[in-house]
Chains A and B, each alone.
Chain A
Amino acid sequence: MLKSGFKSGADNVVMLHKTVPQVAQELHACIGCNECLLACPAATESITIDVLNRETLSGPISVPVARFARSCYQCGACVAPCPVGLHRDAMMMWLKVRMLRSGWSE
């Protein structure tokens, strides 16, 4: 009924954000190879992919993960190296939205 006028999927222009069910699906599909973190120019300290995956969707966010989310600048360098074609930038975006909302509720 309603068309937003945005392309998605394999098209050139992809909306950055994904819904929580999509993020959950991608997190579930993550094989934990760490390639996204290795390709990230914003990651300053060593955080593990399983901690990042665990804290992305729900629950408390630890200081290193929050620091990483704040320094991430959505350049998309993490997407290309993923061997299973996941979108870490979209996962990070949900983490940022969570942080933004939690900051507002304080």
Chain B
Amino acid sequence: MAFLIEGFLRAMELLLSGDTSTWSAVSATVKASTGSMLVSLLTGLPCGFILGYFDFRFKRPIRTLLDTLLALPTVCVGLIVYAFISSKGPLGDMNLLFTLTGIAVGQTILAFPVVTAITASIIENIDPALKLTLVSLGAGKKNIILTCLWEVRFGILAAAVTAYGRILTEVGISMIVGGNIKYHTRTMTTAIALETNKGMFADGIALGIVLMAIAFAVNLSLSFLRKR
């Protein structure tokens, strides 16, 4: 128990003293996860809307595929992205391997099914009276889409938080695609894994605290938005 308390105190010291390796990992995590979240929201929301709102051929198989991808193992995504962006891969020329952009690409693949599947479910469950109301008030297609999304904004926020939680806590992609390079692609989760393996519990706990604090801050801001 003592080593845990000692680790916690050391963690506070590392964070408050502005330890460069710790804060570098924090920065890498925030950069990669923010980029991947933005892209997955920008692509996942319209795809989820289309999937939930319209009826078309192959809709059911696509939903099944997406639902399966919700449980996609992060190491598998890491492996696939690695295969594509390594020097021998089809996208090798883009030099994405061992970069934060590479990690963000993998994390986007991880978050996209979460955002799309949850948005589709939310849109499918929209009160049918909403569309009728919008049509009867004179809304065109664009206004129907935007208003429907706004009406289910809390559900979509929940989708975003779920996706953010998934990418914030993943290790496989960051480790395989990023390479866990100190001051460059080392994220909080890969750093925690590494430091724990080295027996450096304090560093691991420090990063764990920041990870928890980010998750808490995201949920707190969502709760604030809901109240508004």
A and B, one complex?
no
Q: Which residues of B contact A (CB under 8 A)?
A: none
Q: Which residues of A contact B (CB under 8 A)?
A: none
